[in-house]
Structure formats: structure tokens, C-alpha cells
A = this chain, B = another copy of it.
Amino acid sequence: MATVRPKDDPESDPRVRAVFDDIRATRKTDFVNNLWRALAFDATLLERTWADVKALMASPTTLDPLTKEMVYIAVSIANACSYCVHSHTAAARAKGMTDAQHAELLAIVALAARTNHLANGLQVPVDPAFDAGA
């Protein structure tokens, strides 16, 4: 199922071809996963999304690559994005995430959800000590 029809030959559009080529070169693989194939229904949407993903996830930055994938998984779980949980768990594994790290990541995500719901249920005022904006 999907809400857009994937193009029969998306790379006949040179803008799509350029993005797919960059995905393959950056990731050093021939595999272009379904999200990019679906986004290819609109070249501008594809280009902007890939530019943002590449700048943060495929470039050396302050945080190490595995930490970034784990944060990505955490957000995707909380936002109930089935596709994203699958794709970023696979990416984290490819970057070395062990079973023990995976289990601990899930445990922390679940703990955060638990206390998020407690705090939202109690409607506790924020302690002044936590205010960085003063």
C-alpha cells in the first residue's frame, strides 16, 4: 500500500537520478530504499529531504553516527512511524549497534514514555532550577 504511485522509471528524471546517485555514492551501496522511491514523485521534495538527511546523518558532526541513529529511532518510536523504526534500526545495526545496546535503547525509550505520561498526568510545575532561560 502507499498513497503515491511509484514512478516506473524514476531515474529518467535527471533531478531524481542525481539524488539517487548521491544516495548510492554516500552510502556505498546500490540499494535505494522505498522512502526515497516514493519521494521521487516530486523532485523538489526529494531533493530537500535528502539534503537535510545527508547534512545531518551522513556527514561527520559533533555526535557520533550510532548515537544519532539511536536518537532517530527513539523519536520514530514515539511518533509511531513503523517505516522509520524499521529503517533506522537497520541503519543502527549496520553501524554496530549490539543486541545489548538495542535492548537498553528500548528500555530507556520505554522508561521515558512512562515518566512522560506520569508528568503529563500530574501536571507538575517545572522547577525553577531547570530554567535555562532566566
Contacts and interface: CB of A to CB of B under 8 A. Distances in A.
Interface residues of A, number: 87
Interface in A77-129: 77-90, 93, 98-127, 129
Contact of A67 (B6, B70, B85, B106): B70
B109 A75 contact: yes
A109 to B, nearest CB: 5
Contacts of A120: 77, 79-83, 85
A119 to B, nearest CB: 4
A46 to B, nearest CB: 9
Contacts of A111: 52-53, 56-57, 72, 114
A110 B105 contact: no
Contacts of A25: none
Given A5-B132, A80-B120, A34 B125 contact: yes
14 contacts: A2-B122, A2-B133, A3-B90, A5-B133, A45-B118, A52-B52, A57-B111, A62-B100, A67-B70, A81-B117, A84-B112, A87-B130, A90-B130, A110-B121
A131 interface: yes
Query: When A and B form their complex, which 7 residue pairs have the shortest distance between CB atoms, in order from nearest?
Result: A2-B133, A42-B103, A78-B78, A75-B112, A80-B80, A81-B116, A86-B130
